[in-house]
Amino acid sequence: MTKPAPLSAREFDDLFQSVCNWGRWGPDDERGTLNYITPERLRAAAGLVRSGRSVSMALPINKVAGPDNPHPAVHYMVQNYDVRSDLGEPQFCMDFLACEFHGDCHTHIDALCHIAYRGKLYNGKPVDQVTSRGPMLQDITAYAHGIVGRGVLLDIPRLRGVKWLEPGEAVTGEELEAAERAQGVRLGEGDIFVFRTGHHRRRLELGPWDNSYAGEGKPGLHSTAMQLLHERRVAAFFPDGDGETVPSNVEGVAYPVHALQIAAMGMACSDSLQFEELVPVCEQEQRWEFMVVAAPLRLPRGTGSLFNPIAIF
């Protein structure tokens, strides 16, 4: 692919405006692009279940510190079978989990309050609505009843004939359309866009790397691809990695994809999924569309949530 030119700050602001959904579903809307998933589309998604298989798109929860996991999950047994309940049989074992989940090793979904651009959240809400006690609005409970719809996988390494995209490589809207043509699918209104760069495949084969600005970076979308997602009225974004190209293609904006998707568009965005179990099923079924059901924990004032999104064929 030819490398697209970087955007200036001014071009980015124009792009932000052109994809902005503020006010589209009312001034206090918290569901954003999930509004595109009508009952009709949800029902149609269920109609995709034909072979009766379900596949997780989540990573195992990662407890090991590393270059891409500075905040490993903390997991301990609370009680084991060496301790007996006074009440007699049966006996129980229990555990405890703690996690700072906005990281590249934890499959999670972001609440709309997670991102601000120039002091504003989605729908133009001010950032002071998020305090040290948590967000007063746009928390993850806006997605409490789950994200249920049609998932469409666009597999960019498959299109390019490579195992994975290398850090820093960006995928444009044109390339997404090329993938659509190659796979015979088309992203449409209310769809859940499942975007594969091969990030996790690379990690499985080469080991973890520092994918931050201080390190090697990562592949992702080009900012301009958001125009396509906006036109197509995509409802949700489920990438491996987090969708960002690092370093960014926009001058002075470090995470342009987050800014556009979440702050401008109000899109339900998740991070750090994996599709290494999904891809073989798609290949066997020879289809890249399926029902998706993904349900964040009902965490009041949560800025996001660990979750385990499921593809159903």
Q: Among residue numbers 28 through 47, which ones bind a second copy (CB under 8 A)?
A: 38-43, 46-47
Residue 57 identity (one-letter amino acid): M
Is 10 near a second copy (CB under 8 A)? no
Among candidates 117, 113, 118, 105, which has minimal Cα distance to 242?
Answer: 105
Nearer Cβ to a second copy (266/296): 296
CB of 181 to a second copy, least distance (A): 28
Question: Chain-centre distance of CA 178, in angstroms?
Answer: 22
Cα 102 from Cα 22, distance rounded (Å): 25
In angstroms, what is the minimal distance from the CB of 235 to a second copy? 13
Which CB, 144 or 206, lies closer to a second copy?
A: 144
Q: Shortest gap between Cβ of 98 and a second copy (angstroms)?
A: 3
Which C-beta is closer to a second copy: that of 159 or that of 273? 273
Closest distance between a second copy and the C-beta of residue 81, in Å? 4
Cβ atoms of residues 129 and 135 within 8 Å: yes
Name which position in 8, 18, 95, 204 contacts a second copy (CB under 8 A).
95
C-alpha 258/C-alpha 221 separation (Å) is 10
109-128 residues near a second copy, rule: CB under 8 A? 113-119, 127-128
Is residue 237 left, alpha or beta, with left meaning phi > 0 and alpha meaning psi from -120 to 50? beta
Residues 54-93 that bind a second copy (CB under 8 A): 54-56, 58-61, 63-66, 69-72, 74-83, 85, 87-93
Q: Among 14, 24, 97, 162, which residue interacts with a second copy (rule: CB under 8 A)? A: 97
Contacting a second copy within 205-264 (CB under 8 A): 213, 252-255, 258-259, 263
Least distance from a second copy to the Cβ atom of residue 65, Å: 4
Q: Is 153 in the site for a second copy (CB under 8 A)?
A: no
Map tokens 């809207």 to a residue. Answer: 173
Separation CA 305–CA 45 (nearest Å)? 24
The answer to whether 21 and 32 are in contact (CB under 8 A) is yes
Looking at beta carbons only, is 160 or 248 nearer to a second copy?
Answer: 248
Phi-psi bin for 55: left (phi > 0), alpha (psi -120 to 50), beta?
A: beta
Beta 108-110 vs 304-306: how paired, if at all? antiparallel
**CA-to-CA distance for 145 and 286, rounded, in angstroms?**
30
Q: Which of 17, 18, 51, 284 binds a second copy (CB under 8 A)?
A: 51
Determine the size of the site formed for a second copy (CB under 8 A). 105
- Looking at the DSSP bridge assignments, the partners of residue 109 are 270, 305
Confirm or reject binding of residue 204 to a second copy (CB under 8 A): no
DSSP-assigned beta bridge partners for residue 310: 56, 293
Burial class (CB in 10 A: 0-12, 13-18, 19+), 37: buried
Choice from 6, 35, 102, 189 touching a second copy (CB under 8 A): 102
Smallest separation (angstroms) from a second copy to the CB of 115: 5
What minimum distance in Å lies between the beta carbon of 260 and a second copy? Answer: 9
Q: In angstroms, what is the minimal distance from the CB of 127 to a second copy? A: 4
Q: Is 179 helix (H, G, I), strand (E, B) or coil?
A: helix
